[in-house]
Structure 1
């Protein structure tokens, strides 16, 4: 029994790695429909994992920063004093803004 096939565009990109598309202009490859469904499920799961990692990093960012500072207590900074003075205000402002610039995360 032959399984139904669907046309897709397959490629390998420097930024994305291996990819598939069903909406590209050129759909040169035919794959079994069940294979495309597995790829779509894997892509959805991977995107959910990335969103969860971003959410955890945002939620725990201040705790990780505080832990890092506690571990460094009493140790000299590895950053040159002139660089630290020049950038510490900008870094503080960016850390304060991160809550305002939060990306929308899928539920």
Structure 2
């Protein structure tokens, strides 16, 4: 997804990674640059929403920004840093306990 978004427009990926581009002017005083920023923010949200199935869309539909959507999806599928560390520890422990039993052939192992 990251490469796809960067390929479309690197600024869209920046909106997702760093947060929405800020516009400080009121709506009736928007400049062309402000309109471009708003457009990029909405494109980022739109692409994320369109790329998901209904179940995943429902999970992020209440989010206000693209960075919030991305973070919710990242935590859902990758977990927090503590969860990742725990998974690594479990896999290392399983690997260290892995050994051939007496009388077992390589194919049986």
TM-score by length of 2: 0.31
- Structure having the larger proportion of residues in helix: 2
- Structure having the larger proportion of residues in strand: 1
TM-score by length of 1: 0.32
